[in-house]
Structure formats: structure tokens, C-alpha cells
Structure 1
Amino acid sequence: MCNVSNFKQAVGFLISILAFNVSAQPEKSVEEILLRADQYRLDSAAAKVVSEVQLYENDELETTRHYTVYTRPERESLVVFKSKVEAGQKMLMLGDNYWLLMPKSRRPIRITPMQKLLGEASVGDISTLTWSADYQGKWVQSLELKLPMSESVMVNQLELTAKTSGASYQRIELWLEKGSDFPIRATMYLRSGKLAKEAWFTKGERNARTSVVAMTLHDRIQPSKKTVINYQEISPVALEAKYYNPAYLSRNTVSGL
């Protein structure tokens, strides 16, 4: 008799949990949530993104780099390396195809998605990928998330799976502020399943709109390394089609970009 009573209590408890999870699901679709989250990072289809990237080792600033990224629809972007030590370098990404262009070489160098991720501030992180276009999302749960500075916020947790082989990361766990869908935290996993990086997003204002103004990346493969990407300018800019041609880029310095 006691066993029957315990069984009924357990079933009731499970039903209550399931009922809570169903009711906790957001009214919007996951696709709508991701579109809104992306708008805090890029609010136009074609944009110019000016970034300052600070590289830390054991919390000591090692170096600062500068990049200008031009994005347009269909997962196409051009990264122009602006720091003196990298001057003249460019990275072109057209869907799942990637080229590195060096200032003293007349030939574009084809690279793989994994090579795109090399370095503390990988081009995959700088190029501001869009979650709604590059990933298939799934709602996981609502919960209270503790922030690094001891505060807490209610969030929706999503799990994202790459739609294409060229996505920067195979899987992303994403926490978005409940109600606003502002991105709070993300953990990024390689195709091997290994946790590569953990990101925290900084809320601020740009052009009188709430925006992601910085992203802090903690390297989980090399824990002593940290990268802070400050988005100094994001403006609607559409480059001419010729700039998305690797042959054109290899013959021209495009120093004015």
C-alpha cells in the first residue's frame, strides 16, 4: 500500500514538472526569438562593423587588434585586418567557402572552417555570425541565470545546431533574457563535441537603441586566454559586389575600406 502511494506521489510530481515546463515555454517561436536576438548585434542586412579586439593572458592585456567587417545576406562577409602587424590581410567568407588574402601574395589561400577558428580572436567570432541564419534552434528551459557580477536574470535557454558544415561552431548553448531576448551567455562547441569558448554579452546603447556593445570570450581549451571584442561602430553599409570576389581582392589593396 505504501508502495502504491509513493508511486502515485512520484507520478504526480513528474506531471507537475512537465506542466511547468510546458507553461514556461515562450509564446514566440524559437525562430522569432533568434531573429530578435540577432537584431541586438546587427540591425541591418548589410552592415559595416568596426571592432577593437583585446587579447588577455592570465587577465593581463597582451595585445589589441582592430578589424572592420562588412557583412551582407546569404552568409557572406569580408574581414579587413586594420592593425599594423596585420595590415593588408583580408578574410573573405562566402557561404561555406573561405579565403585568406595576404598582402605579398597574388593568390587567395583557401582555408578550412577549422583554420578559420584558429587564434584567440578567431575570424569566426569577429565576423558576427547570425544565429537565425546559421543555426537551427530548440527551446530547452526557462531558468534563473547568475551573472558574473553576482546578479541574476531570468532567461530562456536554447540549443542551436549548425545548419551547414562551414558554421563557426557545430553546437551553441544560448541564454537569452526572458521577455527582451537580449543575449546574455553562450557556450560554443566544436564538431568533435569539445567545449571551445564561453561568451558573455555586454548590454549598452548604440544609435539610441539597446545593443550588444561588447562580447567577452573565455577560451575553454586554453583557460588562461580571454578575448574582449568591443563593437565600436555598426552602420548600414552595402559594399559593391566586386569586393566579394577573391580574385579582385588579391589584385587590389582596398586600403580605403
Structure 2
Amino acid sequence: MQRRNFLAAALAGLALGPRAFAAGNPVMAAAGSPMAASGSALMAAAGAAAPDAEALLARADDYRNFRGKAFSFDLALTSFDADDGDKSFEMKVEVLDSHTSLVMYDAPVSERGKALLMERNNLWFSSPGASKPIRITPQQRLVGEASNGDVASTDFSGDYAPSLLASEAADGIDCHKLQLDAKPGTLATYSRVHLWVRADNAQPVRAEFFGPSGKLIKTARYTRFEKVAGAGKAQLVELEIANPLNPGRRTVMKYRNFKVGELPESHFTVAYLGRLR
């Protein structure tokens, strides 16, 4: 008899819809039943707010920087090209904030003395053979599939406006898919980015990068994260960029020797860039 009454109450609740589960509804007056609890949980889940896109992007950026603190690291880039052969480069990168960074070439010896400076909405390049630093764009290729902007920028939040597209699996991982549209007047490297971040902790999984015409120009996989001593959090230490039109071309970026702390602001000027030549 109890089971029959329980089923009757449940069917009545389904017939009446969500209002049947409201507190005080006579149909579910015996609200201590398992069905009542289950119904309440389902309604709570249905009414839960979607993840905030800006908050997700900020959390994803935390894996690439140190929450507003100045820092430096060593960067190794290896370009794999089935036609032109493999090439490797070593660089030292100093980051003052999300819009200010200095990239200095260290190896091979033939590249030593070259440097990039990202200074707010300007990007400068200096080399030993040039009379003075010149302005360049973040879209220009630096090494293999890596562009100037891929190396000089350590977050998305400053240059892109995010929106949540979907919650779906990427590489077998439950993810939130974000669409990032370039903000006007910024040094955004791409017109649009699709970024998949883990649903449980917002760790980046993979990305697609689009040009002004809407064409997919490259893809990326965030392949390795490690806990950095003194930072108390995991940090991106390996990223692979691929050419979707040429599977034989890809570039691996490896980050190591992170140091968090104050950096001289004088390093982030065109005058200092000229002295590095």
C-alpha cells in the first residue's frame, strides 16, 4: 500500500510539472520521501546558473601566469617540419604584467642578441644588425608555428572577450568550450579563439585559432602542467602548436626555471631593447 501511494504521488508530481515539487504542495506533502528529495535535486540542478565565462578564462590564465606578479622563465622552442627539418631555439622571457614582456634570444648563437618587447599596444623587435628597434605585429611568425604573440603574451583575458559556447568533451575530458573574440585596440594575436578548459578546474586542454576571415589557422594542445616551487599551483610547462593544413609542421614550447619576483621596469622600454643589440 505504501508503495502504491508513493507511485501515485510521483506520477501526480510528473503530471503537474515543477510546481508539484514546490514546498507545501499537497501532492508532495509527504516530502520526506526519496522521490521528493530526488525531485528537489533535479530542479536545483536545472536552475543552476551556467559557468561565468570571464571567471573561467581568468582561472585558465592562472595556469600561464602568476596572478598579477612579475616573473621570468626560460623558453625552449622546437620546430618540427617534415620539409625544412627541425630547428631549436632558447629564449629568456621576463613578464612585468599581462601587457608588458621582454623576450631575449639565447640560442643558437646566430640568434643571440635578438629581442622582442611587448609594451602595452606596441610590439618591438631588435636585432644586432638593425640600427634601431622596429615595430612588428603579434601575428608574424617567430619560430615554426609559433607567432610573436604566442611567445610574448601569457594570458587571454586582457585581449579577448569570452563567451561560453558549450559544455562538451575534448580529448576525452569533460570541458567547457569558450569563444574568445579579440577586443578592439588590443594586441590580440588572433581574431577569434575557441578554448576548451577542464570542467573541474578550468585547466586549458586545447585551442583553435582563427584569422580575420574566420579561417582556422592553427591548433594547440596544452600537454603538460607541473607544480612550480613557491607558487603553490600547477603551471603550464609544455604546449604544442600544430598547422591544421600541414600535419607535418608543429612547434613544441617548453617552459622551465620559473622565478617569481620584482623585475626592473627599466627593462621594459625601447631604450633598453636597443642596448641588448
Q: Same fold (TM over 0.5)?
A: yes
Question: Under a length normalisation based on structure 1, what TM-score does the superposition of the two structures give?
Answer: 0.80
Q: Among all aligned residue pairs of Structure 1 and Structure 2, give the percentage whose two residues are the same amino acid.
A: 30
Q: Is the CA contact 1:213–1:232 (under 8 Å) kept in the aligned structure 2? A: yes
Q: Which residue of 1 aligns with 2:179?
A: 159
The answer on 1:234 being equivalent to 2:258 is yes
Q: 1:1-257 to 2 correspondence within 5 Å?
A: 23=46, 27-45=50-68, 46-58=70-82, 62-83=86-107, 84-115=109-140, 119-145=144-170, 147=171, 152-164=172-184, 165-207=186-228, 209-253=233-277
Give the superposition deviation at 1:95: 2.0
C-alpha distance in structure 2 between counterparts of 1:207 and 1:251, whole Å: 32
Cα deviation digits, residues 18-42 of structure 1 (max 9, x gap): xxxx959865421111111111111
Q: Is the CA contact 1:70–1:237 (under 8 Å) kept in the aligned structure 2? A: no
Q: 1:60 to 1:103 in 2, by over 3 A?
A: closer
C-alpha distance in structure 1 between counterparts of 2:167 and 2:73, whole Å: 32
Question: Under a length normalisation based on structure 2, what TM-score does the superposition of the two structures give?
Answer: 0.74
Cα deviation digits, residues 181-232 of structure 1 (max 9, x gap): 0100000112232211100002332326322220010013444210010111
Letter in structure 2 aligned against 1:90 = A
C-alpha distance in structure 2 between counterparts of 1:76 and 1:120, whole Å: 22
C-alpha distance in structure 2 between counterparts of 1:54 and 1:252, whole Å: 24
Q: Is the CA contact 1:54–1:61 (under 8 Å) kept in the aligned structure 2? A: no
Cα deviation digits, residues 25-82 of structure 1 (max 9, x gap): 8654211111111111112421112111111013996121111111122511111111
Cα deviation digits, residues 88-139 of structure 1 (max 9, x gap): 0001111221111011333111223433667432221122431122210000
Question: Whose Rg is larger?
Answer: 2
Letter in structure 1 aligned against 2:197 = L
Gap regions ≥5 residues in structure 1: 1-21
Aligned length in residues: 229
Over aligned residues, Cα RMSD in angstroms? 2.7
